[in-house]
Amino acid sequence: MIVQVIVLIVGLTISTVKAQDTLRINSLKVVDVCSGEKSWLISLSLGTINFSDSLESFDISIGYDRSIIRPSAALKEGTLSAQMSNGPILNVVVPNEMRIYGFNIARSVAGSLPLFAVSGDYLGECNSIGQLTLPIEPDFNGEFKRKFTVRRLDSVTAINVRKNSVFSGCEFDKEEAMISELDASTSVAMKLKNLSRESTAKYRLTLSFERQSDSTLMAFDSIYAIGCTIEDIEIGSTRVGVTISSLTRDAPEIVSVVKRRSLESSGRVNVSASVIDRTPCGCVQPALNDTVVITIDRPNVNVSTSTDEDACTISLRSNEVHGMCGHSGMKKLILRDLLGQTVQQIETDNYPVVMSTSNLTSGMYFVALSCNEDHAFKLILK
């Protein structure tokens, strides 16, 4: 009698363990929302089914959000349903519920394949999640011996595989720009081409010097936008980064202002620009990048301060020396080299006296301006 009780307890324990089987819905495909085919595929698995389990029919309903996924067909190839004479059959009469059922007459099916598969169209975005549920208890034929008390359900998810486009990005409106001796800065504009104007569209624009050493010649000063909104901006000595959104026209413009770091600096600086699409579900990655060459021109002549500014003054304006007198009368402008020899001389009653320095060879010169009896002297370095 004691032995029989022990055997009975062991038998119940084995039966309880066997009842902990898993019914699982597997998502077999990650949807690429940037592709032409936005389809998904799921399967329902019961694990390994033996002939002794007597599986002959099933009727299973799967809940879903029809704004994200839309079932189109129940598939039997490669599933246990291929062994059944009827099914699987897909019924979507009940909103947000797909019902799949199939059966055999007096013949069970067996194997480790999924019971069935379902395919359909994906209607959501890349950040949408197609949740799957079991709204009612799955139904099998009465003789089916397995009980599925554990359920694991995947979700239908999507990604966006971006494609590079050489027609989308940024392009400077000119190939070269110059910072002259009279200007400490210059503006360079670029157009943002073929970017999405959707409300969720967001882009990151980066401007940078091609070499770190270029920051000794010039620096970024400011940046502003036309036809779009700048959400945030980071300006460093060698790089500018801005986040752009709310594009209000097809080709917005971004204008950056760069300035020379000193009047003595000169050279050529390459400024590169690139755009990255930060839109969560964007499908196009801009690949149109551009470069503008900025020439920093060394001043042709550097002038010292005047010794007699009240009576007359001398100033430099774009390769020209201008003599200014505080009163009318004859004015004389004389340019001499370091040996005291006269290189140029102008005597006139015009106002002001203008002398070109564009033909001078490099060297040091003295300029003397005579306004009647008053004189102003300046040292010129070329």
Does the pLDDT at position 370 exceed 60?
Answer: yes
Fold classified for 20-159: Immunoglobulin-like (2.60.40)
Residue 16 CB burial class (10 angstroms; 0-12, 13-18, ≥19): exposed
Domain with CATH 2.60.40.680 in the chain: 20-159, 163-296
| Residue range 64-100, pLDDT digits in tens | 999 999 999 999 999 999 999 998 999 999 999 999 9
Place of tokens 């029919």: 57
Q: pLDDT-derived band of residue 368, with 50, 70 and 90 as boundaries? A: confident
Q: Which has the closest alpha carbon to 42: 142, 121, 137, 102?
A: 121
Where would I find the H helices in 229-371? none
pTM: 0.62
Average pLDDT over residues 27-52: 94
User: Over pLDDT 70: what percentage of the chain?
Assistant: 84
Given a cut of 90, whether residue 175 has pLDDT beyond it is yes
Distance (Å, whole) CA 207 – CA 307: 45
DSSP state of 55: B
Fold of 302-381: Immunoglobulin-like (2.60.40)
The percent of residues above 90 in pLDDT, for the chain, comes to 54
Q: Range with the lowest mean pLDDT among 228-237, 249-258, 329-338?
A: 329-338
The continuous run of DSSP H or E covering 18 comes out as helix 2-19
Quickly state the pLDDT bin for 19 (edges 50, 70, 90): very low
Phi, psi of 14 (to 5 degrees): -65, -40
The pLDDT value recorded for residue 21 is: 84
Comparing 103-112, 178-187, 273-282, 342-351, which segment has the lowest mean pLDDT? 178-187
pLDDT, residue 16, reads 39
Strand order in the sheet with 353-356: 312-316, 320-325, 353-356
Q: How confident is the model at residue 326 (pLDDT cuts 50, 70, 90)?
A: low
pLDDT for 217 equals: 83
CATH fold of the domain at 163-296: Immunoglobulin-like (2.60.40)
Residue 288 has pLDDT above 80, yes or no: yes
Locate 293 and state its tokens.
């060459």
Which letter does DSSP use for residue 361 in this model? P
List the one residue out of 187, 174, 175, 170 whose CA is nearest residue 251: 170
Count Cα atoms within 13 angstroms, Cβ side, for 254: 29
Q: What is the pLDDT of residues 177-193, one digit of tens each?
A: 988 765 678 899 999 99
Instruction: Look at residue 381 and tell me whether its pLDDT is greater than 60.
Output: no
Q: For 192-221, what is each residue's pLDDT tens digit?
A: 999 999 888 999 999 999 887 777 888 888
Report the distance separating Cα 311 and Cα 332, nearest Å: 14
Angle at 252 between CA 250 and CA 257, to 5 degrees: 165
Rounded alpha-carbon distances, angstroms, from residue 198 to 192, 206, 225, 288, 369: 15, 21, 18, 20, 65
- Average the pLDDT over 93-118 and give the result: 95
Q: How far apart are CA 185 and CA 206, in angstroms?
A: 20
b/e sequence 241-268, b meaning 16+ C-beta within 10 Å: bbbbeebeeeebbbebebebeeeeeeee
The answer to whether residue 262 scores a pLDDT higher than 80 is no
Rounded to the nearest integer, the mean pLDDT of the chain is 84
Buried b / exposed e along 337-348 (16+ C-beta atoms within 10 A)? eeeeeebbebee
Q: CB under 8 Å to 124, separation ≥6 — which residues?
A: 33, 67, 68, 69, 130, 158
**pLDDT number for residue 10:** 33
Q: What is the rounded CA–CA span in Å between residue 272 and residue 172?
A: 10
User: Residue 9: pLDDT above 60?
Assistant: no
Please give the average per-residue pLDDT across 343-372, as a whole number.
78
Which strands sit side by side in the sheet containing 86-91, from one edge to the other?
86-91, 97-103, 57-63, 139-140
Q: Give mean pLDDT, residues 113-120.
A: 97
pLDDT of residue 359: 80
Enumerate the CATH 2.60.40.3080 domain ranges in the chain, comma separated: 302-381
